[in-house]
Structure 1
Amino acid sequence: MAGKKDNYLSFVIGNLTDAQAANIMSDVAKSKNKHAPSARSVGAITKQDGVGSILAKGWQNLIGKNE
């Protein structure tokens, strides 16, 4: 698939059990590997109070800024 690689994807899904979160994370990883095997990615599972810091740190790591 040709095209400019300038798109990013992020999402937060809440109110999940540990098993549901793990299954969804696995499904997302499999889909990413199928559709964009060379794309960079970062994923994490956290409790509600950790969402903001996980998103901020993950975004910095993904775009290569470790400030």
Structure 2
Amino acid sequence: MATAKQLENIIKRKTLKVAKCQKEIKAETSAIAKLKGELVIAKKKEAEVKAKAKTKAKPKAKAKPKK
């Protein structure tokens, strides 16, 4: 059986470990949010480029009717 002092130290270590993990989770969550924002911007830019490319496309030569 562990002594009271040992139990206090175990609790203290585990509490610090949990706090560290929570801090890492918070940092990763904010990184995900930032990346999602960048993804939205990138998708908008790609959509604009595609739209411009479609409007600038040269019309295909039409076949002339034979007489």
Q: If you compute each CA radius of gyration, which structure gives the higher value, 1 or 2?
A: 2
As a proportion of its length, which structure holds more helix?
2
**Higher RCO structure (Cα 8 Å, ≥6 apart):** 1
TM-score over 0.5 for the alignment? no
